[in-house]
Chain A
């Protein structure tokens, strides 16, 4: 590690182009009056040297390129991608693009849930989302922020097909053609040779691609007619979406499928909204006029009531506040959750006390990792000292003993500690037998902090001993002997001469052990009980059980930042050059 900062061992003795560059610079400054110093070919020396240096650097880069690419692709990129999830929040605006836009202007402090316009937008979003089966995903996402939204989205997705049922029935009772797929197809294309409105189609294509993550590219055998899409904009938009979905996701023929309820609802809205049909003479003109006349007597569709009937939650202000708060594409919400706060309409505020846990867990993780690190130093130092001072043959034997647990499964070692430490376990049995402990008051040594510290110290000990050993075995015994011969006591010789030379080993071991400890989760999960678990246990829970990957990523990012800060602090205080692995 010490080599990280220098450019390589050759700098000390062998001259490099870089050295020459510095020299040229100083010479240059000295000889400014005489103009720039020139190389043999007449170019300024500085430039010529810089070129030589560049070539050398390129060559070095080429040499490490395969490894660099490998690390970037398989290690850095996935981590960055995972960490990026801690702010990512596109799902809300991708699933409900119109509703989130409409609710933007709603005043969250107003007494009522938003008005009919927002619910109208919500209907068209919800219908498409439920066809594409994306609404439950959004429900799961928002349920992390507000309990109950998961089932609200699920039940609304089931109900949304029936919105406007009475009006649709009236339309179909009036004339069978409204159930006829071929009629609809002719109406929406505008008949043979009509000018098409491909902009509308592309817009819907992009919308579906955003919603589902599939590209929705390809020919669908349908282009909405320009005239009809101007006359009946909502119908045309809904039909275009329907056509794309039918042709690409369902792989059916558009002209052979009856349109969605949402298309008919769009038509009802357009006709009731006063579409001017007087100048229209394309396909279905008669039927449209008849339908418009009939619909004048029909009551309007009240989306708000329909949504509230599907689930009461839609009528509540808190639901809409949550949607509004989480409608931006990026959110600080996960990070706030990760530090026991929550994002509200008017900024961040602390979570209720009975839900605060993460800060405490971060502190506990740091504290316990330090304790584990310290106990590894205390236990490992004498062993490493012994190893490095024994004759090779016995040192090797001892080394195998150190490495042996290293080769045993982590789970086996942890479970073994369970057998040792539990109340009916080996240690308690021995102590009871010796009369040190009363049978009724056996010691509790597992499923708590103590258990975690013991088991993890044992597991991480080799990581401390090995770097210490490799540093200690390079310390020449002559120094201590010299100190002793000059009159130092055993302790002084050790403390003033030997110990300072072994510090780089402690440093390397400590960094290894501490960083490994901070991210451990299997051992604390098994022996930690409730007081000995780490933040990593919560991260694992959110990754594999609650599926709140955003929160897991935020917790992970904070943990990573904490490690980097500690590493920086270590560098400032001890100096990273002072770390040796051998």
Chain B
């Protein structure tokens, strides 16, 4: 605890002193992210402008975020941490924090204030999950469907339960090969009230109920494990509808012009952001902190939305979201947080899944294999 306070104090000093302390900061920095369009948006919104301010800096990107927790644990055991700033989803940040692999952060001390002087802690609000996580974007897992495969006479699907309605909407569905999200949707469509979903899911009967509901569509499901699967399945017409991250669907619809539309109902919000590995040497830590301070300020978070349709995590960034840098379309209506899209949403319950993940996953996998 005290150890981190000293770190924080030194960092606060470094940040305050700004570029005057630049000689104490490492000349290279390894950033870890997810690759693809998302990483590209980070390069353009954060890394390039930062490099302009610090031309001496060498930025290395590593596309390992999906294995970040395992790799950080291995690095920690080997006593050689090669990453400086790591992009992870909130659930992983929580686990890294639990394992003592990520550094604890005091948002007010290390992050920039909003332009109107609101403290970082208030600006990020509820999105500060755990003690180590610095939120960056809000993304959602939601459905897309083929507009040309909607049966004649039927309305376009606009309700999460249409996923389970094989009579009105025949055809294959793509769902993620893990219990998270699917179990919640199944319960919602099996008559469980939204605020009781996790209470029900905590009981073995509730888990069985969710699996029974999923059983009704099991034969028509293609299970995906990589975010790119559903866009491909939709583009090839392999499935009628499928869940994936909203940014992936945006690129299928707007960039690749496929006959696909969004179904925002019961989208599940999740967060993605940065963590700093615990135990970095002082010069690298100073560099990482300096970068984080810059990359998570109000303007930078709003800038990222020019390149990808994920919502900035700061409240103060939302009004600054403009047009897509290449397509020139307004980005606000494509944000998962847009009021029009967010009529019925679901927030991923980190605590619940941290506890129940192993147990429910065992049952889910056994059910899948049956």
Inter-chain CA distance A278–B314, complex, in Å, is 63
Q: Determine, out of A365-373, A505-513, A524-532, the stretch whose residues face the partner at the interface.
A: A524-532
* Cβ proximity bits B37-73 to A, threshold 8 Å, 1 near / 0 not: 0000000000000000000000000000011011001
A250 and B358 contact, Cβ closer than 8 Å, known pairs A538-B365, A547-B95: no
A249 and B236 contact, Cβ closer than 8 Å, known pairs A147-B355, A355-B363: no
- B355, A544: Cβ atoms under 8 Å? no
- B366, A354: Cβ atoms under 8 Å? yes
Q: Is A154 an interface residue (CB 8 A)?
A: yes
Q: Determine, out of A45-53, A56-64, A199-207, A356-364, the stretch whose residues face the partner at the interface.
A: A356-364
Residues of B within 8 A of A272 (CB): none
Inter-chain CA distance A581–B97, complex, in Å, is 51
- A131, B1: Cβ atoms under 8 Å? yes
Residues 333-370 of B contacting A (Cβ, < 8 Å): 351, 354-359, 361-363, 365-369
Q: Is A133 an interface residue (CB 8 A)?
A: yes
Q: Is A246 an interface residue (CB 8 A)?
A: yes
Contact of A151 among B1, B225, B351, B358 (CB under 8 A): B351
Contact of B367 among A144, A246, A354, A447 (CB under 8 A): A354
Contact of A250 among B3, B356, B359, B366 (CB under 8 A): B3
Residues of B within 8 A of A143 (CB): 354-355, 358
Inter-chain CA distance A547–B354, complex, in Å, is 12
- A139, B98: Cβ atoms under 8 Å? yes
A520 to chain B, nearest CB (A): 15
- B98, A154: Cβ atoms under 8 Å? yes
Contact of A447 among B222, B237, B357, B369 (CB under 8 A): B222
Q: Is A423 an interface residue (CB 8 A)?
A: yes
- A355, B366: Cβ atoms under 8 Å? yes
B323 to chain A, nearest CB (A): 34
- B67, A544: Cβ atoms under 8 Å? yes
A252 and B366 contact, Cβ closer than 8 Å, known pairs A151-B354, A547-B73: no
Inter-chain CA distance A345–B28, complex, in Å, is 53
Inter-chain CA distance A133–B236, complex, in Å, is 49
Residues of A within 8 A of B368 (CB): 530
Q: With CB as the reference atom, state the residue of chain B lying closest to A360.
A: B369
Q: Is B106 an interface residue (CB 8 A)?
A: no
Q: Is A148 an interface residue (CB 8 A)?
A: yes
Interface of A is mostly: loop
* Cβ proximity bits A410-446 to B, threshold 8 Å, 1 near / 0 not: 0000000000001111000000000000000000000
Q: Is A251 an interface residue (CB 8 A)?
A: yes
Q: Is A296 an interface residue (CB 8 A)?
A: no
* Cβ proximity bits A536-569 to B, threshold 8 Å, 1 near / 0 not: 0010000111111000000000000000000000
- B70, A357: Cβ atoms under 8 Å? no
A573 to chain B, nearest CB (A): 31
- A357, B362: Cβ atoms under 8 Å? yes
Interface centre among B70, B351, B363 (most CB of A within 10 A): B70
Contact of B69 among A133, A251, A547 (CB under 8 A): A547
Residues of B within 8 A of A131 (CB): 1
Contact of A249 among B3, B95, B98, B356 (CB under 8 A): B3
Residues 140-160 of A contacting B (Cβ, < 8 Å): 140, 143-144, 147-151, 154
A122 to chain B, nearest CB (A): 19
B66 to chain A, nearest CB (A): 8
A250 and B6 contact, Cβ closer than 8 Å, known pairs A136-B100, A544-B67: yes
Q: Is A134 an interface residue (CB 8 A)?
A: yes
- B69, A531: Cβ atoms under 8 Å? no
- B70, A548: Cβ atoms under 8 Å? no
Residues of A within 8 A of B366 (CB): 354-357
Contact of A548 among B236, B238, B358 (CB under 8 A): B358
* Cβ proximity bits A92-111 to B, threshold 8 Å, 1 near / 0 not: 00000000000000000000
Residues of B within 8 A of A533 (CB): 369
Interface centre among A131, A143, A354, A529 (most CB of B within 10 A): A354
- A133, B358: Cβ atoms under 8 Å? no
Q: With CB as the reference atom, state the residue of chain B lying closest to A422.
A: B238
Q: Is A137 an interface residue (CB 8 A)?
A: yes
Residues of A within 8 A of B356 (CB): 147-148
Inter-chain CA distance A354–B351, complex, in Å, is 24
Residues of B within 8 A of A140 (CB): 95, 98-99
Contact of B223 among A147, A252, A424, A530 (CB under 8 A): A530
Inter-chain CA distance A144–B362, complex, in Å, is 10
Interface centre among A131, A356, A530 (most CB of B within 10 A): A530
B361 to chain A, nearest CB (A): 7
A345 to chain B, nearest CB (A): 19
Interface centre among B98, B357, B363 (most CB of A within 10 A): B98
Residues of A within 8 A of B98 (CB): 136-137, 139-140, 150, 154
Contact of A422 among B208, B236, B362, B365 (CB under 8 A): B236
Residues of B within 8 A of A147 (CB): 355-356, 358-359
- B1, A544: Cβ atoms under 8 Å? no
Interface centre among A133, A134, A531 (most CB of B within 10 A): A133
Inter-chain CA distance A538–B364, complex, in Å, is 13
Q: With CB as the reference atom, state the residue of chain B lying closest to A157.
A: B98
B12 to chain A, nearest CB (A): 18
Residues of B within 8 A of A154 (CB): 98
* Cβ proximity bits A284-297 to B, threshold 8 Å, 1 near / 0 not: 00000000000000
Q: With CB as the reference atom, state the residue of chain A lying closest to B99.
A: A137
Residues of B within 8 A of A547 (CB): 69-70, 73, 95, 99
Q: With CB as the reference atom, state the residue of chain A lying closest to B71.
A: A544
Contact of A544 among B3, B70, B99, B365 (CB under 8 A): B70
- B222, A529: Cβ atoms under 8 Å? yes
Q: With CB as the reference atom, state the residue of chain A lying closest to B352.
A: A151
B366 to chain A, nearest CB (A): 4
B26 to chain A, nearest CB (A): 21
Residues of A within 8 A of B363 (CB): 354-355
Contact of B2 among A134, A250, A447, A545 (CB under 8 A): A250
Residues 265-321 of A contacting B (Cβ, < 8 Å): none
Q: With CB as the reference atom, state the residue of chain B lying closest to A551.
A: B358
Residues of A within 8 A of B369 (CB): 357, 360-361, 530-531, 533
Residues of B within 8 A of A246 (CB): 2
- B358, A144: Cβ atoms under 8 Å? yes
A271 to chain B, nearest CB (A): 27
A338 to chain B, nearest CB (A): 12
Residues of A within 8 A of B354 (CB): 143, 150-151
Inter-chain CA distance A137–B100, complex, in Å, is 8
Inter-chain CA distance A360–B366, complex, in Å, is 9
Residues of B within 8 A of A361 (CB): 369
Residues of B within 8 A of A250 (CB): 2-3, 6
* Cβ proximity bits A105-141 to B, threshold 8 Å, 1 near / 0 not: 0000000000000000000000000010110110110
A68 to chain B, nearest CB (A): 23
Q: A151-B354, A257-B2, A354-B363 are in contact. List 6 more A-B contacts (CB 8 A).
A: A140-B99, A143-B355, A250-B6, A354-B208, A447-B222, A544-B69
27 cross-chain CB contacts under 8 A: A134-B100, A136-B97, A136-B99, A137-B99, A137-B100, A140-B99, A147-B358, A147-B359, A148-B355, A149-B355, A150-B354, A151-B355, A249-B3, A251-B3, A354-B363, A354-B366, A355-B366, A357-B362, A357-B366, A360-B369, A447-B222, A529-B223, A530-B177, A530-B223, A543-B70, A544-B69, A547-B99
Lowest 6 CB-CB distances: which A-B pairs, in order? A136-B98, A250-B2, A147-B359, A544-B70, A357-B366, A530-B368
- A residues sitting closer than 8 Å to B (CB atoms) are 131, 133-134, 136-137, 139-140, 143-144, 147-151, 154, 246, 249-252, 257, 354-357, 360-361, 422-425, 447, 525, 529-531, 533, 538, 543-548
